[in-house]
């Protein structure tokens, strides 16, 4: 256990906070699910239902916070909003497809390098654009 922990404060900008929440969902909630599926194991259905319900609620909350009605912003930040919402919708549709197939380990649905690399590339694009608008989280 480290002596000092790096304290990560929640960002003050709306888009920075949305990205912060997205990162927490991916890195905490879904990482264990993806790791289980990658190992060709069937996840425990009761735990998966809890994880997916919480994840979908969190994603919907993020989408609501950055929606056009709730968050007015300039053109550059508007691009970030649309990229971020597209990224969230892609993860939601992927998880819904996995759940619909009852987590059957079909190779096209295993969260392999293609899906995760695409998410990482999109995340890097958002990070670059957030630096351009001088966000407090990128």
pLDDT per position as a tens digit, 104-136: 655 555 555 577 788 889 988 888 888 887 766
DSSP state of 2: -
Average the pLDDT over 2-13 and give the result: 65
In terms of pTM, does the model score above 0.75? Answer: yes
Q: 18-69: per-residue pLDDT in tens? A: 989 998 898 888 887 777 777 766 667 777 778 888 899 999 999 999 988 8
117-to-74, 105, 114 alpha-carbon distances in Å: 29, 19, 5
Contacts of residue 112, defined as CB under 8 A and 6 or more positions apart, other chains included, come to 38
pLDDT attached to residue 51: 83
pLDDT, position 58:
93
pLDDT tens string 57-100 = 999 999 999 988 888 888 888 888 899 999 999 989 888 887 77
For residues 87 and 22, what is the distance between their CA atoms, to the nearest angstrom? 9
Residue 104: predicted pLDDT: 60
Q: What is the pLDDT of residue 63?
A: 93
């Amino acid at each position: 256990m480290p002596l000092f922990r790096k304290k990560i404060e929640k960002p003050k900008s709306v888009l920075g906070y949305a990205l912060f929440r997205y990162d927490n969902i991916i890195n905490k909630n879904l990482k264990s699910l993806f790791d289980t599926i990658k190992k060709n194991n069937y996840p425990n259905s009761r735990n998966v239902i809890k994880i997916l319900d919480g994840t979908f609620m969190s994603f919907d909350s993020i989408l609501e916070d950055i929606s056009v009605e709730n968050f007015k912003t300039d053109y550059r930040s508007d691009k970030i909003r649309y990229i971020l919402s597209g990224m969230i919708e892609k993860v939601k549709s992927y998880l819904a497809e996995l759940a619909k197939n009852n987590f059957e380990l079909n190779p096209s649905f295993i969260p392999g390098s293609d899906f995760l690399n695409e998410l990482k590339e999109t995340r890097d694009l958002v990070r670059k654009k957030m630096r351009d608008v001088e966000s407090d989280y990128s």
